[in-house]
Amino acid sequence: MLGADNIIVTMTHASKHGVSKLLNNCSLPLTGKGCIKKVLTDLAFIEIKDGKFHLLERAPGVSVDEIIKLTEGELVVADNTPEMKF
């Protein structure tokens, strides 16, 4: 296999209009399907597994409910999602 094994994307969680960027399906042309493993947004740290977003950590002061509301794709949330520590 060529290329990186662990690709992490940093981005905003939603558009400036409050529309989720973490979608069920991509509407843009893809250069590499399924190659992104983790996403770090202004709200959360998320791992992508089995076609689902798995919430690993939330940004300081951000509630799990806010992340759920701003995530269009299927989001798996553990019982106790920790806040990021810096």
18 located within any domain: no
Secondary structure of 27-60 as H, E, C letters: CCCCCCCCCEEEEECCCEEEEEECCEEEEEEECC
Q: Give the domain range for residue 48.
A: 37-86
- Whole-number average pLDDT of the chain: 92
Q: Tens digits of per-residue pLDDT, 43-59?
A: 999 999 999 999 999 99
Q: Give residue 1's pLDDT band: very low, low, confident or very high (50, 70, 90).
A: low
Contact in structure between 41 and 47 (CB atoms under 8 Å): no
**CA 35 to CA 32: how far, in whole Å?**
6
Residue 48 lies in a domain: yes
Has residue 25 been placed in a domain? no
In a domain, 32, yes or no: no
* Angle subtended at Cα 24 by Cα 18 and Cα 27, rounded to the nearest 5 degrees: 80
Does some domain include residue 31? no
| 62 belongs to a structural domain | yes
Task: Give dist(CA 55, CA 78) in Å, integer.
Answer: 7
